[in-house]
């Protein structure tokens, strides 16, 4: 699904517009909370699009902000659409609740910049590689549950295709190429898949070789998701064992974007990165 049509993106856009209208009136989140008779955290969730905004709450805020009637109707049309569900909701039985927020963000994003220290990013994994990763991380799940999670991961990869594909720029530690996830046969197929993916115009892959030594992201992985529009914004996602950390403050974004730029500068260029992937594949024969 195109990022331009997702309910998640509509929630973010609606929230950004509500925030703009509030600030244009020099009102605080506390003022809006008093008007709705709710907590400030609810107003914050409405403005960030984390929660679905109810039409009656949106209307009450628009009246409080003295928005012109014609503009109110346009915004309320968006509010009515945010209650639709994204495609991935049919997989909610297969993923933990904390991962749903990431799915919503990924579905709406227009670009994904990431550094991975250990594993191939999910959007670039083959079925067998993804299965091996899921099985190792979830030993208590049965095969059907693992298959369900793998199916979701593979369907997510549709974001890299179509008329409005996601732009992916991945910097991978050389360890990602050398760790034999699933065994030699699975790993060879995965490396070949990486090389083919890198030929897509919207996919850039760089390898950070062992020879670099210490670097700006030693010991952790992260991604930066960017959203469309002037008010689309960005978010840093750091996946943890049983949760995901989301950073949206300007200072955090600047820090992670600086680290990402340093990693790009230190890594091999895309052409030499493809050569190293090919060499790693040959080493498995």
Question: The domain spanning residue 191 has which CATH number?
Answer: 3.30.870
Residue 137 and residue 17 in one domain = no
Q: Out of 112-121, 122-131, 247-256, 265-274, which region has the weakest mean confidence (pLDDT)?
A: 247-256
Residue 121 maps to a domain: yes
Enter the DSSP assignment of 142.
-
Number of domains the chain contains: 2
Residue 40: which CATH number? 1.10.260.40
**CA-CA distance, 21 to 250, in Å (whole number)?**
21
Asked whether the beta carbons of 244 and 238 are under 8 A apart, the reply is yes
Query: Which residues, at least 6 apart from 268, have a Cβ–Cβ distance to it below 8 Å?
Result: 206, 207, 208, 209, 276
Q: How would you classify the pairing of strands 244-247 and 203-208?
A: unpaired
* pLDDT of residue 160 exceeding 90: yes
Residue 55, token pair as written in the block: 């039409």
Q: Are residues 192 and 269 in the same domain?
A: yes
Asked if residue 265 and residue 191 are part of one domain, the reply reads yes
Query: Is residue 54 in some structural domain?
Result: yes
pLDDT digits (tens, 9 = 90+) for 69-107: 988 888 887 777 666 666 655 767 777 777 777 877 787
pLDDT digits (tens, 9 = 90+) for 1-43: 344 456 666 777 788 889 889 999 999 999 999 999 998 888 8
Domain boundary among 55, 81, 107: 81
Nearest alpha carbon to residue 166 among 245, 107, 121: 107
The structure's pTM equals 0.75
Q: Which domain holds residue 11?
A: 3-81
Highest mean pLDDT among 4-13, 138-147, 226-235: 138-147
Task: Please indicate, yes or no, whether residues 27 and 97 belong to a single structural domain of this protein.
Answer: no
Cβ–Cβ < 8 Å for 37, 43: no
- Domain check: are 245 and 146 in the same one? yes
> Are 162 and 225 found together in one domain?
yes
Residue 236 to residue 250: CA distance in whole angstroms = 11
Instruction: State whether 236 and 260 are in the same domain.
Output: yes
pLDDT at 60: 93
Residues 112, 17 within the same domain: no
Residues 63 and 107 in one domain: no
Average pLDDT value over all residues in the chain: 88
Cα of 250 vs its chain's centroid, Å: 18
Partner residues linked to 225 by β-bridges: 112, 235
- Residue ending a domain, among 31, 57, 81, is 81
Same domain, 75 and 100: no
Same-domain pairing of 270 and 156:
yes
Task: Point out the domain boundary residue: 50, 81, 112.
Answer: 81
The answer to whether position 86 is within a domain reads no
Q: What angle do CA 102, 107, 112 make, to 5 degrees?
A: 75
**Predicted pLDDT at 89:** 59
Using a pLDDT cut of 70, give the percent of the chain over it: 91
In a domain, 88, yes or no: no
Q: What is the pLDDT of residues 163-200, one digit of tens each?
A: 889 999 999 999 999 999 999 999 999 999 999 999 99
Residue 228, token pair as written in the block: 């469309």
Task: Looking at the structure, tell me whether residues 140 and 242 fall in a common domain.
Answer: yes
Percentage of the residues of the chain whose pLDDT score is greater than 90: 58
């Amino acid at each position: 699904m195109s990022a331009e049509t997702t309910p998640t993106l509509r929630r973010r856009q609606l929230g950004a517009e509500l925030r703009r209208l509030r600030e244009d009136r020099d009102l605080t989140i506390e003022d809006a909370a008093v008007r709705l008779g709710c907590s400030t955290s609810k107003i914050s969730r409405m403005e960030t699009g984390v929660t679905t905004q109810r039409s009656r709450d949106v209307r009450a805020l628009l009246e409080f902000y003295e928005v012109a009637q014609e503009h109110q109707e346009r915004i309320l049309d968006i509010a009515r659409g945010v209650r639709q569900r994204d495609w991935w909701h049919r997989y909610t039985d297969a993923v933990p609740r904390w991962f749903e927020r990431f799915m919503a963000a990924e579905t709406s994003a227009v670009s994904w910049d990431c550094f991975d220290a250990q594993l191939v990013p999910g959007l670039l994994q083959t079925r067998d590689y993804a299965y091996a990763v899921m099985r190792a991380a979830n030993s208590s799940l049965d095969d059907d549950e693992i298959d369900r999670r793998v199916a979701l991961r593979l369907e997510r990869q549709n974001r890299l295709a179509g008329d409005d594909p996601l732009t992916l720029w991945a910097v991978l530690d050389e360890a990602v190429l050398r760790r034999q996830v699933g065994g030699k046969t699975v790993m060879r197929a995965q490396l070949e898949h990486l090389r083919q993916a890198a030929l897509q115009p919207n996919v850039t892959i760089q390898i950070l070789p062992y020879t670099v030594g210490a670097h700006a992201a030693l010991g952790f992985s992260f991604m930066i998701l960017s959203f469309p529009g002037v008010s689309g914004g960005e978010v840093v996602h750091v996946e943890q064992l049983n949760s995901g950390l989301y950073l949206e403050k300007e200072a955090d974004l600047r820090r992670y974007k600086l680290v990402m730029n340093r990693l790009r500068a230190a890594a091999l260029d895309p052409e030499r990165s493809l050569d190293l992937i090919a060499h790693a594949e040959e080493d498995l024969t």
